[in-house]
Structure 1
Amino acid sequence: MPFTIDFLDDGRVLEWEATAAGAVVTETDEYTPRFYVAPRDPDADLDLTALQSMYDQHPDVDATEMVSRRPGFRRDEESVLAVDVEHVNCVTGLARQTRQLSDYPVGDLACFNVDLSREFRYCLENGVDPTPANELSTLRLSVPVAETSNDLYGELTVAGETITGSVEDILTGVRANIETRDPDVLVCSTSEIIPTLYEMATVASIDEFTLSRWPGVDYQQLASQSTYSSYGQVGHSPARYNVPGRAIIDESNTFFYGETNLDGVLDLVSRSKKPVQELAWASIGNVLTAIQICEAHDRGVLVPWNSWRHEFHKPMGTLHDADRGGFIFAPEVGLHENVHELDFSSLYPNIICTRNVSPDVIRCDCHSDREDVPELGYSICDTRGYLVDVLEPIIGARDDIKTAIDRENHRDDPDEDRLAELEGRSGALKWILVACFGYQGFSNAKFGRIECHEAINAFAREILLEAKERLEAGGWRVVHGIVDSIWVTPDSDVDDDEREALETVAANITEAVEIRLEHEAQYDWVAFVPQRESDAGALTRYFGNVAGEDEFKIRGLEARQRSTPPFIKEVQRDCLDRLAGTRSPDAVLRRLERAIEALHNGEVAVERLVERNRVSKPLEGYTQNTQNVAALKRARDHGLAVHPGQDVEYVVVDDEKTSRDRVSLVHEDVETYDASYYEKQLVRAVESVLSPLGWDRTEIQRTIAETREMNLSAFTEFGDN
């Protein structure tokens, strides 16, 4: 079971397996990747022999043959052209030639199994499981931000030890760790460390320096850096590199490793058949697609290069009903006592599994007279959908992991390493389950279908409305509900002895809807925050004091936002503590006043005032002189490349300015900050805490100003006496 696979320029493939005695390599020169060509229209009667003849003469083609495959889940087996390619790098170019021939001489064609990542393709085509049989050894390499713009590093941290000095000193330290630890995985703060180290070796004329396990090949560049947009957010993908014999995890370009840990990554490796290196840089949708592709492969279904599924015809009324999201019950702004939060366990994935919602069976021709989906009237075939087979094992595995976590936490002496493993695996599976619903409506999804997205929402609305009705009938008042969660409190109009036990109601709802309704938490109180410019409740901004514990659940507040400076987060959390202990706005305001005083007295360390914001466009693309623009200008002055989609960290030193002097970058020697600016941020954070009690920013500022005047007046009178 190789944990990483290398493709050499001469066509050889190296499989590296982790063993207790170190990595073992298996070499092969017989691998020929394959893609397929078939008519786009299943009813088209096209002759593929002309295309086959053309490919047979191509120097990059090893062989061709006509085989039986299913070009889609809704198509039966038919004759398609299989093209075996000499090298994995040639697949896309050859498939593109087919696309150029779509109109002549063989008709409208579609290509399949084209844009698969190369290690994943190898595992899929050869039936290889890339899950490591032994524990992987790792080595972390990192450089400070200030060094990333340099052609040669003057500082590098290796396995937690910082090395400074000459180029020779740094390379000697890296080489010693490579030889001693012989890592299977290199965890890099940025992938640019790899080519930079080799450049340093060239400058220092150190010929024997290498990170590779394979002689003659130091490293390969797999992809150049790029900027992309996804769901309205701009992201940056740095260049990707490969070191033969070792998997690379780039901390600046990894979701799953950053959100979970190596155990979470390895769990998904076993499910997706994407080796460690590819899994680390893959997005949630990319991994979910890989798991779906594995299921399609087992069913003999080909993977389309481009999605071309048309949306089924719908009457205007159905279009209106379908264009709706999940259930929303607007929160009642204010502070509510004795609140219980109930969540449906993996609601959307379980809807898919219990209602058989899958792209291959939604609105089937064989049951077109049925109306299985509420409100929309879509039919769902009785044949089990492929998406159910994809998700059921993941749902079951996560339930088992959560049970194991709970069992471990209730032990007298919990095993922290075991808990970390379980938490990592649970977190990784959670992200896949979160994404499986939205991906059905994604236009570029390989196997998605918008009707599935609409049906899942329709079922979810019906389930939440039924839950709301049963809870209210049982003597509980719903104070908020959104998508898969409901917050309830005892209805004051119902006597306690007439109120049905919440556990009983939840059990009845679970039985009725076939999806488990879990008691997520009980709160001594929960406060729902109003919208910034409205009295209406904000759907995802609330905080609550967990019953019997010195703990808060916070959503949507500044303390949960990645851009908020640590000092602002700390003060907001302190204010929550004071509100919980006193229920007094005055106690909160006194904490705010002390924080403001500390700011103006210069008592706050500048590193606690660092803001981190994501850059959405190049410097030249901005038209307003924002803080980000000032930070980007300073970064350019320092030779630092900050690309759209990356973060920039700075301290605001004079917010009245519009030049680059408005901020200082975090790695600069910052000696001051704009106390007035951070005072405004504090007031904004405290407004979030007090707004459920009817306070707004204006009233907070007025009260603080009056307190200052009173204190100043008392000080003056004392001085006069």
Structure 2
Amino acid sequence: MPFTIDFLSDGHVLEWEATVDGAVATERDNYTPRFYVAPRDPAADLDLTTLQSVYDQHPDVVATEMDARRPGFRRDEEAVLAVDVAHIDRVTPLARQARQLSDYPVGDLACFNVDFSREFRYCLETGADPTPANELSTLRLSLPVTETSNDVYGELTVAGDTVTGSPTDLLTAVQGALDAHDPDVLVCSTSEIVPTLYEMATDAGVDDFSLSRWSDVDYQQLASRSTYSSYGRVGHSPARYNVPGRAIIDESNTFFYGETNLDGVLDLVSRSKKPVQELAWASIGNVLTAIQICEAHDRDILVPWNSWRHEFYKPMGTLHDADRGGFIFAPEVGLHENVHELDFSSLYPNIICTRNVSPDVIRCDCHSDRDDVPGLGYSICEDRGYLVDVLQPIIDARDEIKAAIRREKERDDPDEDRLAELEGRSGALKWILVACFGYQGFSNAKFGRIECHEAINAFAREILLTAKQRLEAGGWRVVHGIVDSIWVTPDLDVDDEDRENLETLATAITEEIEIRLEHEAHYDWVAFVPQRESDAGALTKHFGKVAGDDEFKIRGIEARQRSTPPFIEAVQRDCLDRLDATRSPDAVLDCLQDAIKRLHAGTVPVEQLVERNRVSKPLEGYSQNTQNVAALKRAREQDLAIHPGQDIEYVVVDDEKSSRERVALAHEEIASYDASYYETELVRAVESVLAPLGWDRTEIRREIAETRVPELSAYTNPAKN
């Protein structure tokens, strides 16, 4: 079971297996990756012999053969050209040549099994299981932000110990830690640590420094850094590096390791056949795609290089009905007492599995006269769809893990390590289940289909409406509902003895719908926040006090926003405590006034006022002098590289300025801050708390102005002294 796989320049492959005594390498010299070429249209009568003869003469091609495979779930077995390649890096260039031959009209040929990541392809084609047989050892290397752009580091944290000094001092510390721990996984705050350490070793004349377990290769660069846009959001992908014999996890470029832990990563390794290193940098969609590719491979289905699924014909009326999202019941703005939250367990994945919604069976030809999808008239074949086989094991596994978590927490002495493992695995599976629905509508999805996306939404709307009607008939009033969750409170027009028990109702709805409706939480009260410029309720902003607990559930407001400074978050949470204890706006305003006094007195630590914002474009791309621009100017002045898609952290020191003096970067020595600016941010945060009670920003400021005791400090700004 190799936990990492290396590809050498001569075409040989190294499989690294973790053992109790360290990692053992097995060298393979007979691996030849394979891709396929077939007619795009199954009805086309194309002769592939010309293409085969071209590939037979290519020096990077080991062999070709005509094979019988299925180029899609809706296609039967047919003749395709299989091409075996000498080196894994030559697969894509060779596949691209199939599109350039004048003997075949453009668009008539399609390539399959082309754009797989390297280690994943190897595991898929050879049957190797990348799940480690033994526990992996790790070593963490991290840099302070001030060192990230330097060619020579002056400070580096190695296995938790901060090392400063000359390059030789740092290299000696790293080499010593490698020798002592012999880690299978290098966890780096940035992958740029790898090439920089080697450059430092070369410049310092340290010949015996090496991160690698294979003496012939120090490291390899797998990809350059890049900036991308996804759903309107700019992201940054750092350069990726490989060190033979060790997996690298780049903390600046990992979703699953950051959101879960190594246990969560390893759970998905076993399901996706993507080894640790590739799983760590992969996106949710990338991992879901890998799991689906594994299922397609098991069914002997080829994977298209580019998706070209046409949308089935629909009348205008069907287009209108299908182009709708999930269920939304507008929240009743205000503070509601005695509220219960009910959630359908993994609603969309369970709809897929219980209703057999899958790209290969939706709108099948064999049942075209059936109306299986409510309101849309789509048919669904009785054959089991492949997507069900992909998701059902994940749903079942997560249910089992959640049950194990509950049992562990109920113990008198819970095992914290065991809990961390279970919660990491549960979290990783949750993200896959969250993504499976949206993937069906993604234009570049390997196997997605928009009709599946539409059908899932149609079933979801029907399910939530059924639940709403059943709850209301049982004596409960729905105060909010969105996608898979419903908030209810007792209907005061119904006598207590006539109101059905909520647990009994949930069980009855579960049996009718065949998807478990769970009682998520009971709240002493829940407040639904209005939109900023409207009296209508904001769909995703609410907060509430969990009954019998000191915990608040918070969604959408400042305390849950990643850019909010810690001080603003803490004050908002204090305001929630005051509101819970008193139900009084005055108590909340007292909390606000106290925070404002501390701000103007200059007693708030500057590290509690750090804002973190994402950079969306290069400095030259901004036309307005925003705070981000000021921060980017300061970063450039200090030779710090901040790329689009990365975060920048700063404190606002004088918001009236438009130059780089407007802010100070978080790592700088900061003497003062702009109290007036942070006061405005405080008022905004408190408005979120009081808005459900009918207060807006204007009223809050008026009340503060009337009750504030004038002091000299109230008229001075510590940033300008």
Normalised TM-score (structure 2): 0.98
User: Take 1:148 and 1:287, find their aligned partners in 2: how far apart are those partners?
Assistant: 29
- Which residue number corresponds to residue 716 of structure 2? none
Say what the alpha-carbon RMSD is for the aligned residues: 0.9
Displacement of 1:149 after TM fit?
1.2
Residues 603-682 of structure 1: matches in 2 within 5 Å? 603-682=603-682
- Which residue number corresponds to residue 95 of structure 1? 95
- Which residue number corresponds to residue 240 of structure 1? 240
- Which residue number corresponds to residue 302 of structure 2? 302
May I ask how many residue pairs the two structures share in their alignment?
712
User: Take 1:149 and 1:282, find their aligned partners in 2: how far apart are those partners?
Assistant: 25
User: Take 1:106 and 1:591, find their aligned partners in 2: how far apart are those partners?
Assistant: 69
Displacement of 1:106 after TM fit?
9.4
Given that 2:359 and 2:448 are in contact with CA atoms closer than 8 Å, whether structure 1 keeps it comes out as yes
- Which residue number corresponds to residue 18 of structure 1? 18
User: Take 1:517 and 1:376, find their aligned partners in 2: how far apart are those partners?
Assistant: 25
* Higher alpha-carbon deviation: 332-341 or 664-673: 664-673
Letter in 2 for 1:100: Q
Given that 2:99 and 2:107 are in contact with CA atoms closer than 8 Å, whether structure 1 keeps it comes out as no
Letter in 1 for 2:363: R
User: Take 1:86 and 1:541, find their aligned partners in 2: how far apart are those partners?
Assistant: 55
Displacement of 1:104 after TM fit?
2.6
- Which residue number corresponds to residue 275 of structure 2? 275
Q: Residue 515 of structure 2: SS of its match in structure 1?
A: coil
- Which residue number corresponds to residue 380 of structure 2? 380
- Which residue number corresponds to residue 2 of structure 1? 2
- Which residue number corresponds to residue 214 of structure 2? 214
Given that 1:50 and 1:106 are in contact with CA atoms closer than 8 Å, whether structure 2 keeps it comes out as no
Given that 1:65 and 1:83 are in contact with CA atoms closer than 8 Å, whether structure 2 keeps it comes out as yes
- Which residue number corresponds to residue 412 of structure 1? 412
Displacement of 1:101 after TM fit?
2.3
- Which residue number corresponds to residue 573 of structure 2? 573
Deviations 1:52-90 (A, max 9, x none): 011000000000001111100000111100000000000
Q: Residue 376 of structure 2: SS of its match in structure 1?
A: coil
1:170 and 2:165 aligned = no
Given that 1:220 and 1:241 are in contact with CA atoms closer than 8 Å, whether structure 2 keeps it comes out as yes
User: Take 1:386 and 1:398, find their aligned partners in 2: how far apart are those partners?
Assistant: 19
User: Take 2:445 and 2:87, find their aligned partners in 1: how far apart are those partners?
Assistant: 27
Deviations 1:487-533 (A, max 9, x none): 00000000000000001111111011100000000000000000000
Letter in 1 for 2:669: D
1:469 and 2:473 aligned = no
Residues 98-247 of structure 1: matches in 2 within 5 Å? 98-101=98-101, 104=104, 108-247=108-247
Displacement of 1:102 after TM fit?
6.9
Deviations 1:87-111 (A, max 9, x none): 0000000000001127637971000
User: Take 1:336 and 1:319, find their aligned partners in 2: how far apart are those partners?
Assistant: 38
Runs of 4+ deviating beyond 3 Å: 709-712
Q: Residue 304 of structure 1: SS of its match in structure 2?
A: coil
- Which residue number corresponds to residue 38 of structure 1? 38
Given that 1:46 and 1:107 are in contact with CA atoms closer than 8 Å, whether structure 2 keeps it comes out as no
User: Take 1:259 and 1:522, find their aligned partners in 2: how far apart are those partners?
Assistant: 27
Q: Residue 104 of structure 1: SS of its match in structure 2?
A: coil
Counterparts in 2 of 1:103 and 1:700: CA distance versus 1, 3 Å: farther
User: Take 2:591 and 2:22, find their aligned partners in 1: how far apart are those partners?
Assistant: 57
- Which residue number corresponds to residue 86 of structure 2? 86
User: Take 1:106 and 1:569, find their aligned partners in 2: how far apart are those partners?
Assistant: 57
Displacement of 1:709 after TM fit?
5.1
Q: Residue 99 of structure 1: SS of its match in structure 2?
A: coil
Displacement of 1:711 after TM fit?
7.9
* Higher alpha-carbon deviation: 107-116 or 235-244: 107-116
Deviations 1:112-134 (A, max 9, x none): 00000000000000001100000
Given that 1:102 and 1:108 are in contact with CA atoms closer than 8 Å, whether structure 2 keeps it comes out as no
Displacement of 1:710 after TM fit?
7.3
User: Take 2:375 and 2:181, find their aligned partners in 1: how far apart are those partners?
Assistant: 61
User: Take 2:20 and 2:173, find their aligned partners in 1: how far apart are those partners?
Assistant: 25
User: Take 1:464 and 1:103, find their aligned partners in 2: how far apart are those partners?
Assistant: 55
- Which residue number corresponds to residue 596 of structure 1? 596
Counterparts in 2 of 1:342 and 1:102: CA distance versus 1, 3 Å: farther
Unaligned runs of 5+ in 2: 713-721
Counterparts in 2 of 1:81 and 1:598: CA distance versus 1, 3 Å: same
Q: Residue 708 of structure 2: SS of its match in structure 1?
A: helix
User: Take 1:372 and 1:107, find their aligned partners in 2: how far apart are those partners?
Assistant: 35
Given that 1:71 and 1:302 are in contact with CA atoms closer than 8 Å, whether structure 2 keeps it comes out as yes
User: Take 2:242 and 2:115, find their aligned partners in 1: how far apart are those partners?
Assistant: 19
Displacement of 1:589 after TM fit?
0.4
Matched residues, percent identical?
84
Counterparts in 2 of 1:710 and 1:653: CA distance versus 1, 3 Å: closer
User: Take 1:210 and 1:174, find their aligned partners in 2: how far apart are those partners?
Assistant: 9
Q: Residue 99 of structure 2: SS of its match in structure 1?
A: helix
Given that 2:13 and 2:29 are in contact with CA atoms closer than 8 Å, whether structure 1 keeps it comes out as yes
User: Take 1:690 and 1:710, find their aligned partners in 2: how far apart are those partners?
Assistant: 24
Letter in 2 for 1:174: V
Residues 701-712 of structure 1: matches in 2 within 5 Å? 701-708=701-708
